Amino acid sequence: MRLFVALDLPHAMRTRLSFLGGGLPGVRWVQPENYHVTLRFIGELPGWRADEVDQALAGLRAPAFTVQLSGVGTFEKAGRVTSIWVGVQRTPALDHLQAKVETALQRAGLERERRRFAPHVTLARLGGDGIPAGKVAAWVQAHNLFRSEPMDVEHFTLFSSLLGKEQAAYVPEVEYPLARPMPERDDAAMDLRLG
């Protein structure tokens, strides 16, 4: 199984992000059902190792939190743009969850992730077709003020990735709940009710 750990996006956010797609011929836009924020790419594992990963992630405890999507950008390799993304504002809670996922997976026997955590949602992938860099830069500039409303993160998900001819299909395998914060107690109101 080809696996990764990610934050799933609510339907309304997927729809909103899908409106950003378009305006760049030759770009492969990601289907809205595949939008996610990768916390840790795992890769190909045999079934018994996938079970160990599941057990490690199931033991993880972290609080629920909110995140906000903000801005767009690109990743490049050897001077060529390879993908277009929407950024995710980093927060201590997001970094905490990502670090706990990384630690849990290392304890399950996986090697440490060498890439730096750069939270984002991939919108498009660019092949070697030579889309002019100026057109990509103009698209980024036209959409860079994108901001979402804060989004509640109440779980994270272990996904499998099924490679297809056009795009991979991402299948949510297991959702792991995050702890909801306890509501603040109003001791004075409690005393009135009890007294």
Q: Which two tokens stand for residue 79?
A: 């001077």
Mean pLDDT of the chain: 89
Residue 132, CA atoms < 13 Å, CB-side half-sphere: 5
Q: Which domain holds residue 144?
A: 2-194
Catalytic residue among 11, 96, 120, 155: 120
Task: Give CA angle at 84 (163, 140), nearest 5°.
Answer: 160
156: CATH: 3.90.1140.10
Over residues 120-143, the pLDDT tens digits come to 999 999 876 667 788 999 999 999
| Catalytic residue check, 143 | no
| Catalytic residue check, 36 | yes
pLDDT at residue 77, as a whole number: 86
Number of separate domains in the chain: 1
